[in-house]
């Protein structure tokens, strides 16, 4: 049975894809990407995914992440993509596009699954919160390795608005914040999460996590803080891992 599956990670600025060995947790070859179409309507995204999949020949089920709540296979929110996604059946759209079984899930949940299974949270008990900093802020909560899906805590209120409008990596770039200024905001956000949920550990992900050593001394939390092991590859890896469940069907 094929154990190398394709994972697709749809973000606000780019759609990433890669082939993942489910037995080793390794990315096979390089991760590929194409720009997220603007507007990111379902039909346009499917066209881009078809182009991306053509660069990553594979067989078997495909995992497909999305920056929003996914319930019963359908998108329920669409914070950083076209609102035409609300109500869309992502699995059915991708299966029609690629002619293969597909599994549709929240992007931060996928990143967290990769980190809990193979990465920074492996064999960790207690409450772990994965936080991804990108176009928005994604979260995934695990208790003793089990996921509570679709938490969407990037939309907590901070200073009268969404937390992701205050502390995301996009905002850091848009406002030209240096690490001390940005991490002050991140610490405020982590403190809010800690006050509500009392996690034992935070795992910080997204592309900026690859520069963790530069800002780690500035981070403050009562919980342990670890960088995501897989950086911006975590969503692709978690998508493929989640799609592995379809191999049993």
**Amino acid 1: pLDDT:** 58
Phi–psi pair at 177, nearest 5 degrees: -80, 135
Distances (CA, A) of 62 to 52, 74, 199, 235, 243: 12, 16, 32, 13, 6
Residues in the chain: 249
Contact 229, 118 (CB under 8 A): yes
Show the tokens assigned to 233.
């590859």
Tell me the C-alpha distance between 247 and 249, whole Å.
6
| Of residues 49, 5, 74, 17, the one with CA closest to residue 244 | 5
Q: What is the pLDDT of residues 106-160, one digit of tens each?
A: 999 999 999 999 999 999 999 999 999 998 999 999 999 999 999 999 999 999 9
Q: Do residues 52 and 34 touch, judged by C-beta distance below 8 A?
A: yes
> Which of the following CATH numbers is that of domain 4-109+233-248: 2.70.98.10, 1.10.1660.10, 1.20.58.100, 3.30.420.40?
3.30.420.40
Give the whole-angstrom CA distance, residue 215 versus residue 199. Answer: 21
Name which of 65, 153, 151, 159 is nearest 114 in CA terms.
Answer: 65
Tell which CATH architecture fits domain 123-229: 2-Layer Sandwich (3.30)
- Location of each CATH 3.30.420.40 domain in the chain: 4-109+233-248, 123-229
Residue labelled with tokens 């996604």:
85
CA 14/CA 168 separation, integer angstroms: 16
Q: Please tell me the predicted confidence (pLDDT) of residue 248.
A: 62
Residue 116 tokens read as: 């809990």
Residue 229 CA to residue 203 CA, distance in Å, equals: 9
Residue 32, C-beta contacts closer than 8 angstroms, at least 6 positions apart: 16, 17, 18, 52, 55, 56
Positive or negative, the CA dihedral 210, 211, 217, 221 is negative
**How many Cβ atoms sit within 10 Å of the Cβ of residue 37?**
16
Q: Cβ neighbours of residue 75 under 8 Å, at least 6 residues apart?
A: 66, 68, 69, 85, 86, 87, 88, 90, 104
User: At 173, which helix (H) or strand (E)?
Assistant: helix 169-174
| Mean pLDDT of successive 10-residue stretches along the chain, which has 249 residues | 89 93 92 94 96 95 95 90 94 96 96 96 97 94 97 96 96 97 98 98 94 97 97 94 83
């Amino acid at each position: 049975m094929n154990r190398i599956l394709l994972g697709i990670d749809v973000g606000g600025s780019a759609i990433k894809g890669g082939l993942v060995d489910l037995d080793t947790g390794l990315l096979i070859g390089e991760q590929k990407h194409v720009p997220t179409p603007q507007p990111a309507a379902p039909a346009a995204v499917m066209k881009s995914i078809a182009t991306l999949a053509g660069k990553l020949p594979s067989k078997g089920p495909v995992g497909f992440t999305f920056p929003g709540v996914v319930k019963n296979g359908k998108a329920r929110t669409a914070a950083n993509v076209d609102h035409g996604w609300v109500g869309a059946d992502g699995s059915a759209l991708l299966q029609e596009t690629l002619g293969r079984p597909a599994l549709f899930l929240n992007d931060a949940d996928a990143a967290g699954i990769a980190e809990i299974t193979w990465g920074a949270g492996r064999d960790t008990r207690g409450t772990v919160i994965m936080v991804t900093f990108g176009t928005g802020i994604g979260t995934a909560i695990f208790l003793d390795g089990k996921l509570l899906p679709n938490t969407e805590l990037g939309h907590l209120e901070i200073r009268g608005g969404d937390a992701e409008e205050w502390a995301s990596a996009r905002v850091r770039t848009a406002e030209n914040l240096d690490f001390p200024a940005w991490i002050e905001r991140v610490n405020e956000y982590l403190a809010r999460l800690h006050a509500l949920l009392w996690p034992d550990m935070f795992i910080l992900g997204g592309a900026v996590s690859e520069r963790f050593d530069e800002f780690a001394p500035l981070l403050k939390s009562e919980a342990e803080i670890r960088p995501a092991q897989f950086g911006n590859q975590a969503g692709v890896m978690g998508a493929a891992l989640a799609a592995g469940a379809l191999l049993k069907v």
